[in-house]
Structure 1
Amino acid sequence: RFMDSAKRLPNKPMVVFEGQEWTFAQMHEWSNHLAHFWIAQGIGHGDIVCQMLENSPDFIANWIALMKIGATAAFINFRLPPKALAHCLRIATARTLVFHPAFAATVDAVRADLGAATDTAPACPPWATLVDGAVWRVHPATPPPPSRTAAVDFADPAMLIYTSGTTGLPKAAIVSHMRMTLAAVGFPGMYGVSESDIIHCTLPLYHASAALIGFAQACFLGSTVVLSRRFSVSRFWAEVRESRATVVQYIGELCRYLLQASASAAAAATTDHRVRIAIGSGLRPDIWEAFKRQCGIPEIGEFYASTEGTAYLFHWHRAGAPGAGAVGYFGPLARVMNGIKVLRVDPDTHEMVVDSQTGYGQVAAPGEPGEMISRITNEPHKRFNGYFGDASASEKKVLANVFSDGDRWFRTGDLISVSADGYYYFHDRLGDTFRWKGENVSTTEVQEAFEGMPGLVEANVYGVALPGTDGRAGCAALQWAPGHPPPDADARRQLAATLRQRLPPYAVPVFLRYVPQLEHTATLKQTKVALRHQGADPRVCADPLFVYDAGARTYVPLSAERYVAL
């Protein structure tokens, strides 16, 4: 379909990057050069090439080139620490890694661990091969032989995209050509995107949202994508205005940052643009309407999906329509036929609650949070391809014999509820809920209770274990704005009062931890594993810690003696 778009719209800009345009014809020719380069290296159908590239036209051209010869690109996050990077390169079983020169030191740090070969070339590390224009332009600009792609099946992997790894080392999700096609056609159709649209993409291309919803649809539809090297709060709206973008992509945290910035910016700075719809996932209900209003976004195209999963939810929210904050909507008939259920699960074990009479699982009642599961079948859009080279991890995502013997369902790991009128609402990751005083606490609910605290940049909420107690006590790691003093005794008293007002008693955090910087994955998801492991023991944690004193109704400094007394 990309080659069809190149023939139909040869002179139309496909990629705009840092003020320079690449037309469909230019990207077609560039990827042809690279395809022949890879053929000369012995790469072909079924081979995997890891690409560790920044957001750039290079990323797109190389990706298209590999697909033209039936090879698979494994998208590597260049922000990974050495252990995770080596893991990602190893499990891909790739023959080659291509990377931008800026990452030479990072790659060199794991090269010995991988047993990588040593090559030489000028102007690059002595152990690598330079692939610049002088190298690939000597290869033909004509398309590679049709025989190179004749053997490619829709079920073959088009790319490997790694999960974020918030709970462990990343896993390589297999994205088939069929899944890529469905995303490239389905998302634009769902939200009315056409070839006349200009799409602004600031998300990393090595993740599915940018790769599939941003660029795959451009290949299929012929729309133009304006690509940013990275997300910048201060530059975002200027880039949108300069590019005359009509569609922007988001993830929820990005929207929160933009909303915070809009509070101190002139109205025209955030509303003077041509954007008609923002498409993405994770926009939370507490900022949904404010983001639309303050940033001048008429429509929201919220969706729910995972790179490897089989559950898809869509919600096109227009002005004045109901369902603000919902991640999806289905009518009565579609809810019966979509193969998606919300399953009752045990809050502690996260296993399904079995009906004592039938021996099968139970569907949650309307409005009741449960784990969303999706039927696995051999239909292209319901086929679970699993994780590359990790059968064990793949099997853990499958739940069998749920409603009948032999049925198989994909476990999303997400707590979702469905309203009586068909709106789907995200509550939390199963791993991000904890039990305290016999009640289930949602970390998302608690985090949203901190919204609007003066000087607070971000809150990360999680449960910590306390010796001699059941469940986990809530702890909120708080990052304060530079130059803004953390709350003093009076401010902590007011903070406690606000939390009591916004939360049920059992959900008010037991501990507060002031941190200089909260950590995130490459897609801006909060990481909690290290924080959970460190707990709230002042003998282990060097950050300032506070504990809620129920008698004084405020947060007081947590000493080692007080912690032991707890």
Structure 2
Amino acid sequence: MNSELLQKIQTYHHSREGLEKLFYGLAETETEKWNEIESQKTTNWTALFCRIAEKAQKKSVITEVETEASYSYKELDEASEKIKNFILATTDDHHIGLHYPNSFAFMAALIGINKAGRIAILFNTREPQERLVKLAEITAVSTVFGDPIGELEYHAIEKIIQSEQKYQPRYGVYPTTLDDPAFVIFTSGTSGPSKPALFSHRRMIGAGVAWGLRTGMDSSDSCYISLPLYHGNGLAVAFSAVVFSGATAVLRPKFSVTHFWEDINRYGCSHMVYIGELWRYLVSADRGGANPNRSLKVIFGNGLNKSLWEEVIRRYSIAHVVEHFGATEMPAGALTNWFDISGYCGYLPPDDPKAQEMVLVDEELKPSPYRGEALFVVPGGKYRGYMDERLDERKLVRNLFKEGDLWWRSGDLLERNAQGFFTFVERLGDTYRFKGENVACVDVEEAIRSAGSFDEVVVYGIALPYIEGKIGIASLVSSEPFGVEEANNLYEKLKERVAPYALPYLLRIQREKHPATSTLKIQKAHLAKEGIERFLEMPHYLLLDSGYQPLEKQHYQDIIEGTIVLGIKGKQ
């Protein structure tokens, strides 16, 4: 680990001048790294991987927790070559599906797909089959590597890697451009149904450079990754930083509170990537006693609020935290706070030219200095965020300050202080965040309509005590009698249509239609503000281990006191 970086932060982060010294020093180093990469005429992120693998050779790049197997950079390069050559010999498909948990095989397949110059479509392994089939259709996927999706042609990754059959290699790494998409990640965005967002080779390399430098990662480090590799945090923020640094990724398919410290200590992990919910679960499960941490020094990710941040570094002796704000489909680099000043998701010196490339605006898109939706200037005036170009325009604002300017809307509310530090407040639009996942309300509403007979379906997130983010509730006007039996019939159907984190953990049954605006838009903000306060006036059902049950006074009290969490018994 780069201990010099930590020493510099501790020395300089106490003053404005010191912060700017750190900020501009790292920016200069970042520019030097990019100049080196571009001088090598790198056009595909896997070409950079190949150069690093050639130097690292037998150095471990991946250790799998579940299998206890360890793989070298050379082995990952060779396995990806097999995948690449297999693809070139068997299919002309430009979009290749990848549906598999965190593993050596996942990364071998992704690198192989990108070496072949194809785009990897990364499917969420938590999605039900019906949903996966639909997503494969809208992304034009007919071939999948990993686990099956519906009736699509699929190939077992390990079988190809272990096969003795050799395919004639046609080339090394296909010469894409840096701005070509390397893979597609499904994101809910800020409104509407899930959208396939493009992630370019440039951004994959940029993420490795950015987080490798900010976390002080080097070849002696091991980074624990339990976030899914089909999402940006696990793949771009963490794994790319590992490759850029010549480090080792310790992969677990799914985060486990029970095994976390055991894994960290067993594999000597110095770094880990997080979402704030992970640390909330760990702190909640902590029974006191001696500090369980024997190796973890650096944590990086997003969603760590000030109080939790301070509790984590105090309890577990964490030396360095890197918090960021970003989005899969954003046109610019993420905001980052790597200065070990708790509670903030990013920093820009107020007088820096880059501070002029981001603006906070109110609901009328008027500049709001200290609180508003974050807008980012689109470099070069060209934006490609989604596979469907029609979706791009919905994220853009033109001619905001002058003729011809172009800005990208984040859909997120941020606050900025006089020093230039940013705080994430909440998401805007028709989505909410639960258990580290963004839930598109439209997707859940569509699933409920297809599963029952309802005059109106309204899905939204509400804040409840002891829950990080918001939890989903569906307010329904049923065209037929609706009770516990009907609620659980709905539950059985929804399990096949939406991911577990997107299930409505509460149902609210109305007799009258929902209040609407003059333009007939249902007032979701008003419903969210009510929360579950009207449970005595109309039937409410809550999702527990055994299914939906009527919400009664004792349940309400348990929720308020945090002695029961919807969906599971007891505190998280």
Is TM more than 0.5 here? Answer: yes
Tell me how far apart the structure 2 counterparts of residues 338 and 526 of structure 1 sit (CA, whole Å).
Answer: 37
- The correspondence of residues 193-272 of structure 1 with structure 2, limited to 5 A, is 193-262=217-286, 264-269=287-292, 272=293
Structure 1 residue corresponding to 2:396, chosen from 376, 392, 398 = 398
Tell me how far apart the structure 1 counterparts of residues 246 and 509 of structure 2 sit (CA, whole Å).
Answer: 48
Structure 1 residue corresponding to 2:324, chosen from 298, 303, 308 = 303
Tell me how far apart the structure 2 counterparts of residues 142 and 279 of structure 1 sit (CA, whole Å).
Answer: 42
Tell me how far apart the structure 2 counterparts of residues 219 and 141 of structure 1 sit (CA, whole Å).
Answer: 27
Letter in structure 1 aligned against 2:343:
G
Q: Which runs of 5+ in 1 are unaligned?
A: 118-127, 346-352, 354-360, 435-442, 452-456, 468-514, 548-553, 556-566
Tell me how far apart the structure 2 counterparts of residues 407 and 274 of structure 1 sit (CA, whole Å).
Answer: 48
Tell me how far apart the structure 2 counterparts of residues 327 and 85 of structure 1 sit (CA, whole Å).
Answer: 33
- The correspondence of residues 351-500 of structure 1 with structure 2, limited to 5 A, is 353=364, 361-366=365-370, 369-378=371-380, 384-388=383-387, 390-431=388-429, 447=464, 450-451=465-466, 460=470
Using the TM superposition, give the Cα deviation of residue 94 of structure 1 relative to its aligned residue in structure 2, in angstroms: 2.1
Tell me how far apart the structure 1 counterparts of residues 342 and 223 of structure 2 sit (CA, whole Å).
Answer: 23
- The correspondence of residues 34-73 of structure 1 with structure 2, limited to 5 A, is 34-43=83-92, 47-73=94-120
Tell me how far apart the structure 2 counterparts of residues 14 and 307 of structure 1 sit (CA, whole Å).
Answer: 25
Using the TM superposition, give the Cα deviation of residue 160 of structure 1 relative to its aligned residue in structure 2, in angstroms: 0.6
Q: Please give the secondary structure, in 2, of the residue aligned with 1:206.
A: coil
- The correspondence of residues 276-315 of structure 1 with structure 2, limited to 5 A, is 276-311=297-332, 312-315=334-337
Give 1:542's aligned residue.
Answer: 541
Give 1:324's aligned residue.
Answer: 342
Letter in structure 2 aligned against 1:50:
G
Structure 1 residue corresponding to 2:57, chosen from 10, 27, 35 = 10
Q: Please give the secondary structure, in 1, of the residue aligned with 2:111.
A: helix
CA contact (8 A) 2:506 2:541 kept: no
Q: Please give the secondary structure, in 2, of the residue aligned with 1:16.
A: strand
Letter in structure 1 aligned against 2:376:
S
Matched, 1:159 2:157: no
Matched, 1:20 2:69: yes
CA contact (8 A) 1:37 1:139 kept: no
Tell me how far apart the structure 2 counterparts of residues 2 and 144 of structure 1 sit (CA, whole Å).
Answer: 19
Q: Please give the secondary structure, in 2, of the residue aligned with 1:372.
A: strand
Letter in structure 2 aligned against 1:28:
D
Using the TM superposition, give the Cα deviation of residue 286 of structure 1 relative to its aligned residue in structure 2, in angstroms: 3.0
CA contact (8 A) 1:73 1:158 kept: yes
After superposition, the Cα gap between the structure-2 partners of 1:423 and 1:143, relative to the gap in structure 1 and judged at 3 Å, is: farther
1:461-512 deviation digits (Å, cap 9, x = unpaired):
6899899xxxxxxxxxxxxxxxxxxxxxxxxxxxxxxxxxxxxxxxxxxxxx
Please report the TM-score for the alignment, with normalisation by the length of structure 2. Answer: 0.68
Q: Please give the secondary structure, in 2, of the residue aligned with 1:542.
A: strand
- The correspondence of residues 501-512 of structure 1 with structure 2, limited to 5 A, is none
Tell me how far apart the structure 1 counterparts of residues 123 and 83 of structure 2 sit (CA, whole Å).
Answer: 19
Give 2:362's aligned residue.
Answer: 344
After superposition, the Cα gap between the structure-2 partners of 1:463 and 1:26, relative to the gap in structure 1 and judged at 3 Å, is: closer
CA contact (8 A) 1:175 1:385 kept: no
After superposition, the Cα gap between the structure-2 partners of 1:465 and 1:99, relative to the gap in structure 1 and judged at 3 Å, is: closer
Matched, 1:137 2:163: yes
Letter in structure 2 aligned against 1:26:
E
Give 2:146's aligned residue.
Answer: 99
When structure 1 is superposed on structure 2, of 240-249 and 192-201 the one drifting more is 192-201
Letter in structure 1 aligned against 2:220:
S
After superposition, the Cα gap between the structure-2 partners of 1:325 and 1:522, relative to the gap in structure 1 and judged at 3 Å, is: farther
Using the TM superposition, give the Cα deviation of residue 12 of structure 1 relative to its aligned residue in structure 2, in angstroms: 0.2
Letter in structure 1 aligned against 2:390:
S
* Identical positions, percent: 27
Using the TM superposition, give the Cα deviation of residue 179 of structure 1 relative to its aligned residue in structure 2, in angstroms: 1.2
Using the TM superposition, give the Cα deviation of residue 426 of structure 1 relative to its aligned residue in structure 2, in angstroms: 0.6
Give 2:294's aligned residue.
Answer: 273
1:28-71 deviation digits (Å, cap 9, x = unpaired):
11111121111111347xx1100100111110000111111111
Tell me how far apart the structure 2 counterparts of residues 529 and 399 of structure 1 sit (CA, whole Å).
Answer: 35
Q: Please give the secondary structure, in 2, of the residue aligned with 1:158.
A: strand
Tell me how far apart the structure 1 counterparts of residues 177 and 72 of structure 2 sit (CA, whole Å).
Answer: 28
Give 1:502's aligned residue.
Answer: none
1:316-337 deviation digits (Å, cap 9, x = unpaired):
143xxxx421001111222654
When structure 1 is superposed on structure 2, of 174-183 and 536-545 the one drifting more is 536-545
1:116-162 deviation digits (Å, cap 9, x = unpaired):
46xxxxxxxxxx5555446753344996514x613x11121100111
Using the TM superposition, give the Cα deviation of residue 424 of structure 1 relative to its aligned residue in structure 2, in angstroms: 0.1
Tell me how far apart the structure 1 counterparts of residues 367 and 112 of structure 2 sit (CA, whole Å).
Answer: 46
Tell me how far apart the structure 1 counterparts of residues 161 and 335 of structure 2 sit (CA, whole Å).
Answer: 45
Letter in structure 2 aligned against 1:418:
R
Give 1:507's aligned residue.
Answer: none
Give 2:481's aligned residue.
Answer: none
1:401-425 deviation digits (Å, cap 9, x = unpaired):
2212221111111000100111100
Letter in structure 2 aligned against 1:326:
Y
Tell me how far apart the structure 2 counterparts of residues 70 and 141 of structure 1 sit (CA, whole Å).
Answer: 17
Give 1:438's aligned residue.
Answer: none
Tell me how far apart the structure 2 counterparts of residues 444 and 325 of structure 1 sit (CA, whole Å).
Answer: 23
Letter in structure 2 aligned against 1:542:
Y
Matched, 1:31 2:84: no
Please report the TM-score for the alignment, with normalisation by the length of structure 1. Answer: 0.69
1:218-262 deviation digits (Å, cap 9, x = unpaired):
333311111112100010111011111111110011111011112
1:59-109 deviation digits (Å, cap 9, x = unpaired):
000011111111111100121124431221112212411223xxx4xx33x
Tell me how far apart the structure 1 counterparts of residues 322 and 291 of structure 2 sit (CA, whole Å).
Answer: 23
Q: Which runs of 5+ in 2 are unaligned?
A: 1-47, 433-459, 478-490, 511-526, 543-549, 554-559, 562-572
Q: Please give the secondary structure, in 2, of the residue aligned with 1:426.
A: strand
Q: Please give the secondary structure, in 2, of the residue aligned with 1:257.
A: helix
Tell me how far apart the structure 2 counterparts of residues 458 and 283 of structure 1 sit (CA, whole Å).
Answer: 10
- Count of matched residue pairs: 433
Give 2:174's aligned residue.
Answer: 149
- The correspondence of residues 521-560 of structure 1 with structure 2, limited to 5 A, is 539-543=538-542, 544-545=550-551
Matched, 1:182 2:206: yes
When structure 1 is superposed on structure 2, of 370-379 and 529-538 the one drifting more is 529-538
Tell me how far apart the structure 2 counterparts of residues 247 and 524 of structure 1 sit (CA, whole Å).
Answer: 29
Matched, 1:79 2:83: no
After superposition, the Cα gap between the structure-2 partners of 1:284 and 1:370, relative to the gap in structure 1 and judged at 3 Å, is: same
Letter in structure 1 aligned against 2:337:
H
Using the TM superposition, give the Cα deviation of residue 204 of structure 1 relative to its aligned residue in structure 2, in angstroms: 0.5
